[in-house]
Chains A and B, each alone.
Chain A
Amino acid sequence: MKAFEYFEVECEDAVGAESYRRIAGDILGDLDLIKVIGRLHIFIDPKVPLFLAVGLTRKLPRRVRLRDFANVLEKGDGVLIDISDETHLSRLLHILWERFGRDLVEQPDRWTIQIRGGAVDPSDIEDLIVFDPTESLAKDIIYAFQYIAPEGFKVRRQLVKEGRFYYVASENTLEEGEVDRLLAENFAKIGVNE
């Protein structure tokens, strides 16, 4: 697992900062997000109270297409898919069921899927996108920070977009301008200046 390029927790309370450093590391590790997040700066002010995280996402692993883990062969009036890696099998089956219907898609054994009917073009199926890691990324990052941030901080502002993300939470109402100022200040610490 590749570690962060940059990871800091900034807080006046040194004990709290160290604890949150460990919590963030554990949770991002558990949720398998360490390889996704490149730079991360967390700023906590227990007086306000405020929890703020800013970061950059890394280049994500590419999309997984059917041809990456299976061979598609023409057989009789249909197509035979010969699978070499089961990781994305269940996702693939759901996609095929939706596209061709359950009655035409059969899985006679663990490594084979058969699609009956002449309307199937093998080259078309080969390019099928089975898994797109960007799809659930925003959801996963926001969930991770909800979990990392102290509970009860229900006033939130969050964004995951174009390789950047932020998550600001508090139990008190925050002033818009103040949040913008803090975000700009903390983004500067990870090398993003606008």
Chain B
Amino acid sequence: MTLVPITYKGGVYRHDEIVDLIDDLGGYVIQKHQLAQEVVLQSLVPKEDIDYLRTVARPLAGEVIEAPLVGTEIAVISPSLEIHHLPHASCDVAEYLRRVGAKTNVIGLARGFGKRIANLNLEERDVINEHDCAVYLLGNFEECIREKLPALRRGVTVPIVVAGAPSTERLKEIIQPPVEGYVGDLGRVAHRMRKEEELEPLDRVVDEVSSVLSAYREEIAQDPLSISPARLMVVIDEKMRISAESTHPTPITVQIAGLRVKVDYETYADDLRALEIEDGVTVGDVAEVLPSRMRNYIWLKIRPFSETNVMV
């Protein structure tokens, strides 16, 4: 059964039927936003049932849209949190990625600005490495991108997408060793990107991140995970009642090969490890339960089948 990421948009009225249907079909609702009369469900649904879901949603005026990045957590990296880089373009990019279902975190580096003086500290490196993909938003000059990127990517092991003002071809030439994705014509700007020609680079960010992540997903498919992250999320949430007792927008964030559980590591890690998924298999058997560098959260890294010999 292949699960396809989708976004369902519709009214509050009878939306619980859709939630139940997704559950019955064997899919997962990863995130639910409710804004006044509108409900948005970021979900994973079996590929063959999408048309059926559309049929059910039609009388409710619901819309089913493919959202390639549902179930991913992406780091949008800005050289700093100064007025020079925020809110444009960092927030514009983060917002655009969110529209296609990604959970984005904007990471403002402490000393990521400048050419010679740019650097990345250990905490930033570790936080970036807890994501599925890192989108670096760099500036307008080739010379600076060439010189500063090696410092900013040192120790980063997740796939990297670099955006900058030079064209995509120039970025490919100046960045050595190569990174996974390039988006040209998107550098530092001081205005909101709302014209069509300005939105085009944002669309390319989405395309580039999607293709980088599908390559990553394919790589994982070679040696499948012991449990699907979405399923593990549902199990943990049901047994530990995390979303019911949390005020976070995403109390459990789904990643491609892991989860970020937003509860205190010291207090809950042991309970989480011992939590039974089914037939005596515990969370600790299929995943590494690690302290996250992001606040005091728990970061779960799901082990592949080859390591655990268990598939639940």
Between A13, A19, A147, A152, the greatest number of chain B beta carbons within 10 A of the residue's beta carbon is seen for A152
Minimum CB–CB distance for B57 against chain A, Å: 42
Q: Are A19 and B189 CB-contacts (below 8 A) given A46-B144, A171-B114?
A: yes
Q: Which residues of A contact B117 (CB under 8 A)?
A: 152, 171
Cβ of B113 under 8 Å from chain A: yes
A150 touches B143 (CB 8 A): no
Q: Which of A29-56 contact B (CB under 8 A)?
A: 30, 44, 46-47, 49
A26 to B187, CA, bound (A): 15
**Nearest-CB residue, chain A, relative to B167:** A15
Q: Which residues of B contact A20 (CB under 8 A)?
A: 140
B187 touches A152 (CB 8 A): no
Q: Which residues of A contact B79 (CB under 8 A)?
A: 151-152
A187 to B228, CA, bound (A): 65
Cβ of B82 under 8 Å from chain A: yes
A172 to B117, CA, bound (A): 9
A153 to B165, CA, bound (A): 19
Q: Which residues of B contact A148 (CB under 8 A)?
A: 190
Q: Are A151 and B143 CB-contacts (below 8 A) given A15-B167, A49-B115?
A: no
B190 touches A27 (CB 8 A): yes
Minimum CB–CB distance for B43 against chain A, Å: 39
Interface string of B78-118 (1 = CB under 8 A from A): 01101111000000000000000000000000000111111
A13 touches B141 (CB 8 A): yes
A30 to B192, CA, bound (A): 12
A150 to B85, CA, bound (A): 10
Q: Which of B189-224 contact A (CB under 8 A)?
A: 189-191
| Chain A interface size range | 20 to 34
Number of interface residues of B (CB under 8 A): 27
Q: Which of A138-194 contact B (CB under 8 A)?
A: 147-148, 150-153, 171-172
Cβ of A22 under 8 Å from chain B: yes
Q: Are A30 and B114 CB-contacts (below 8 A) given A15-B166, A147-B83, A151-B84?
A: no
A46 touches B190 (CB 8 A): no
A23 touches B190 (CB 8 A): yes
Q: Which residues of A contact B165 (CB under 8 A)?
A: 15-16, 19
**Nearest-CB residue, chain A, relative to B114:** A152
A44 to B113, CA, bound (A): 17
A147 touches B114 (CB 8 A): no
Interface of B toward A, CB cutoff 8 Å = 79-80, 82-85, 113-118, 139-144, 165-167, 170, 187-191
Given contacts A20-B140, A22-B189, A151-B82, 4 further A-B contacts (CB under 8 A): A15-B167, A46-B143, A49-B141, A151-B79
Q: When A and B form their complex, which 4 residue pairs have the shortest distance between CB atoms, in order from nearest? A: A152-B114, A152-B113, A151-B113, A46-B143
- Residue pairs across A and B with Cβ atoms less than 8 A apart, 12 shown, are A13-B140, A13-B142, A15-B142, A16-B165, A46-B141, A46-B144, A49-B141, A49-B143, A147-B84, A151-B114, A152-B80, A152-B117
